[in-house]
């Protein structure tokens, strides 16, 4: 009997940041950086950064629903980025950095809509601007974007200034949901 794995597709600004926060969560099997939500039939970093394709930087989180629920994945999403800023996360500006959840089925859509009403709005004073849309296509990002934070760490100033504090905040809040890390 094979294990059931579900997928969540989430955009919360730079995919390096979102990938970094989910990779150590219990029940998460894999996190892949990529692109979704655009009008172009393909996507790559250069074209997405041109702001002409309509794609957002996203991650696909594959998870074991017997260990972590889609609801919990979405709850974590609200704290992993600022869902109140349109087309922006910190200094990253443009539609490719928008807050977006691409649902895979109607059940996921209902869970997201409920979470916006009952969870996200209690965490922020400003209105939630997260786009909610069906996933039409996912384009995996180039190999050098995968596990970027793990491979680069604090050797990259962006990682030091932006990702490291975000990961630390996330790990503090969700310490009880993190995978054990060998000493």
Which single residue is written with the structure tokens 């995968």?
146
The residues annotated with a catalytic role in the active site are 14
**What domain range is 163 assigned to?**
6-177
Is the pLDDT at 119 greater than 80? The verdict is: yes
Number of compact structural domains in the chain: 1
In a domain, 183, yes or no: no
62/124 Cα distance (integer angstroms): 27
What does each C-alpha distance from 65 to 44, 69, 105, 124 come to in angstroms?
Answer: 30, 5, 15, 27
Strands 92-93 and 28-36: unpaired
What does each C-alpha distance from 164 to 36, 104, 113 come to in angstroms?
Answer: 25, 30, 30
In a domain, 1, yes or no: no
Nearest to residue 38, comparing CAs of 95, 114, 88?
Answer: 95
In a domain, 28, yes or no: yes
Give the pLDDT confidence score for residue 153 in this predicted structure.
80
In a domain, 64, yes or no: yes
CA 159 to chain centre: 16
pTM here is 0.94
Give the pLDDT confidence score for residue 156 in this predicted structure.
87
Torsion of CA 49, 9, 121, 179, to 10 degrees: -110
In a domain, 168, yes or no: yes
Q: Give tens-digit pLDDT for 144-175.
A: 999 999 999 888 888 899 899 999 999 999 99
In a domain, 170, yes or no: yes
pLDDT band of 118, cuts 50, 70, 90: very high
For 151-176, give the DSSP string. Answer: HHGGGSHHIIIIIHHHHHHHHHHTGG
CATH number of the domain enclosing 146: 3.30.1060.10
Give the pLDDT confidence score for residue 81 in this predicted structure.
93
In a domain, 182, yes or no: no
Instruction: Find the range with the poorest average confidence among 48-57, 77-86, 103-112, 173-182.
Output: 173-182
In a domain, 36, yes or no: yes
């Amino acid at each position: 009997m094979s294990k059931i794995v579900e997928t969540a597709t989430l955009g919360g600004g730079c995919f390096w940041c979102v990938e970094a926060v989910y990779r150590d969560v219990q029940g998460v099997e894999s996190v892949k950086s990529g692109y979704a939500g655009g009008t172009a039939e393909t996507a790559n970093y250069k074209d997405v950064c041109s702001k002409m394709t309509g794609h957002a930087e996203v991650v696909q989180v594959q998870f074991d629903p017997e260990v972590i629920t889609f609801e919990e994945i979405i709850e974590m999403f609200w704290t992993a980025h600022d869902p109140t800023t349109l087309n922006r996360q910190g200094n990253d500006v443009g539609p490719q950095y928008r807050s977006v959840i691409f649902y895979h089925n109607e059940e996921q859509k209902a869970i997201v809509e409920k979470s916006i009403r009952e969870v996200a709005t209690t965490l922020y004073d400003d209105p939630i601007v997260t786009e909610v849309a069906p996933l039409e296509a996912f384009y995996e990002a180039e190999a050098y974007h995968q596990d970027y934070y793990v491979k680069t760490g604090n050797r990259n100033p962006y990682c030091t200034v932006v990702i490291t504090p975000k990961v630390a905040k996330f790990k503090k809040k969700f310490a009880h949901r993190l995978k054990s890390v060998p000493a």
